[in-house]
Amino acid sequence: NVDVFSEGFDCPDVEFVQMARPTLSLAKYLQQAGRGLRKAEGKDTCVLIDHVGLYRMFGLPVAERDWQATFEGRLAGKGYATAGTHGQTEEVAGRREREDDTTDYDLEVVVEHRELLEYLDATRHNRRKEGLPYPLKPFKDRRSGLYGLKRGETVTAPAAYGKVIQTAEDVAEVEWADGSRGLVDGRGSLVLTTDSGRKAKRLKHDLLEATDRNGRERYVDLRNNCVYEERPTVMDFGGLELLKAGNRYCTRTRKVYRTPPGLNRTDIVCKGFYLKILDRLAAPADRHADGTETRRNGCVCLLADDPEEAYRFEGQLADGSIVVADDEGRYYHAEAGKEKRYIARENAETAEEDPATATARLQAEAEARAGQRLEENRRRQEEMRRTRLESLANAAPFQSGRKWGLKAGERILIPPIYRHIEKPVGSYCAFEMNPCQWGVVTLDGQVVVEAKYLNVEIGTDGTARLTLLPGKTQTVKLKP
């Protein structure tokens, strides 16, 4: 117990620490765990049993921590009230601040152990693993009594607001100490000035409606804080979204791209992991990654899972991946399921970064991958077909009218279109199309030997003896 073995306790040979006391203090946690982390003669390891899951809150004792940021006040530790999620008010935040003074000692059960683990795994661990940002939340500075914004434990906007009315994505509705209101982004930059008579309402698809005292409405895209004078329409293209405002389409990236006025929806094509947008005003390059010459019109590309900006489309490679470029002249290679990768830039100082050299290398690699993929698909299809043919060993000829076909049980494999069909030998059958015109067909109906021989004899070794003329024969190897 930290209260018993506090400062001044020195016992380096401690080899076992059992932690059973919940705490919200990083210092106390490190004191508890640190009792067994001293080096001592004859001591190789230390066993830590954490009954209350403190390491899930603070990390392992040996984890690297940004102490400088803590000293500078850029990390919100104990002493900042953790205001609730979206829409909590000053009253709620103040109540939690008062609870912080007592709940460190007499904690009440608010969630079962299993549910807590699931919650932590779904938020803290998964967000770190996938690189996702923490949700934007308000916090209160106890000294000044003002509110700021943070993500996780990192302060993104210092305490400067009298009240945080609500938060959503990367925007917050705040009220300053003088009573004025506004919308700010996660870093505290002003997005939209409001007044006490304005109402803000969150809409579907991450849109915010702000109405002033005169009834005038404006709309904010919460994904990039772009303001629209009229309500935009959300357009979905295979999972990639655009906003249609008036007669223009707008991306929802942080750097907004707007199409030329009057663009037809058919000029926007979803290609799976990217959206290709025709832009007659975009300047195409002289030669492109796919080897084609200059296009009559340029294209803009919106990548899936890339919230930064839209890119100039440079071409598609043989394996389906693409090359794009940003406004700064940087070229990237993008493919499905992966982040874009920088490959070149305009006015490069080295040959490796020259766009023509880099795209030519990528094209050669893509052609090799595409060829390998086609060969793998061909082998896989052949193996599947071979397995299917082997499963049709019970196939037998059947007659319908004056024609013959092939079936397995009640399943018709070859419709009755031939003059005659012999019993199968392995995966093949001899068939007669016209009198004295025999050929060979597989059990699934694929003709492998054209019907032009006087007679056909199929061997069990996968060969066929073909009679061209009386006394003149040839033997061929049958291929499925």
In terms of average pLDDT, the best of 68-72, 106-110, 334-338 is 334-338
- Predicted confidence at residue 91, as pLDDT, reads 44
Indicate the pLDDT class of residue 83, thresholds 50, 70 and 90: very low
Task: Locate 473 and state its tokens.
Answer: 């024969």
Residue with more model confidence, 348 or 132: 348
pLDDT at site 454: 93
* Of residues 67 and 455, more confidently modeled: 455
The model's pLDDT over 266-296, given as tens digits with 9 standing for 90+, comes to: 999 999 999 999 987 766 555 445 554 444 4
- DSSP class of residue 351 equals G
Split at pLDDT 50, 70, 90, the class of 421 is very high
The 8-class DSSP code of residue 62 comes to T
* Interval 388-404 mean pLDDT: 88
CB-based burial of residue 283 (10 Å sphere; 0-12 exposed, 13-18 middle, 19+ buried)? exposed
Which residues, 6 or more positions from 42, have their beta carbon under 8 angstroms from its beta carbon? 13
pLDDT of residue 99: 42
Summarised one tens digit per residue, pLDDT across range 189-232 is 888 776 655 677 878 888 888 887 777 888 989 888 888 999 99
Domain ranges of the chain: 16-65, 71-228, 233-365, 396-477
Confidence of residue 406 (pLDDT cuts 50, 70, 90): very high
Amino acid at 452: K
Task: Report CA torsion sign: 61, 67, 70, 74.
Answer: negative
Work out the number of other CB atoms within 10 angstroms of the CB of residue 268: 19
CA-angle at 172, arms to 168 and 176, nearest 5°: 160
pLDDT, tens digit (0-9, with 9 covering 90-100), for 7-31: 666 788 889 999 888 888 888 888 8
Q: Which helix (H) or strand (E) holds 117?
A: helix 113-120
The sheet with strand 396-400 has its strands ordered as: 396-400, 403-408, 411-418
The pLDDT tens digits of the residues spanning 159-192 come to 999 999 888 777 888 888 888 888 888 888 888 7
Q: Tell me how far apart the alpha carbons of residues 431 and 428 are, in angstroms, rounded to a whole number.
A: 10
pLDDT value, residue 233: 93
Q: Is residue 420 over pLDDT 90?
A: yes
162-171, 303-312, 373-382: least confident range: 162-171
DSSP state of 122: I
* 460, 426 Cβ separation under 8 angstroms: yes
143-153 per-position pLDDT tens digit? 889 999 998 88
- State CA 477 to chain mean position distance: 49
The DSSP bridge pattern shows strands 298-303 and 274-279 to be: antiparallel
In this prediction, residue 195 carries a pLDDT of: 64
pLDDT of 43 > 80? The answer is: yes
- The DSSP H or E segment spanning 379 is helix 355-390
Whether residue 90 has pLDDT greater than 60: no
Tokens 């990367």, residue located: 170
Query: Looking at 49-58, 154-163, 237-246, 464-473, which range is the least confident one?
Result: 49-58
Q: Which of 304, 308, 310, 306 is nearest to 324 (CA)?
A: 310
Residues above pLDDT 70, as percent of the chain: 81
Give the pLDDT band of residue 154 (cuts 50, 70, 90): confident
pLDDT of residue 123: 61
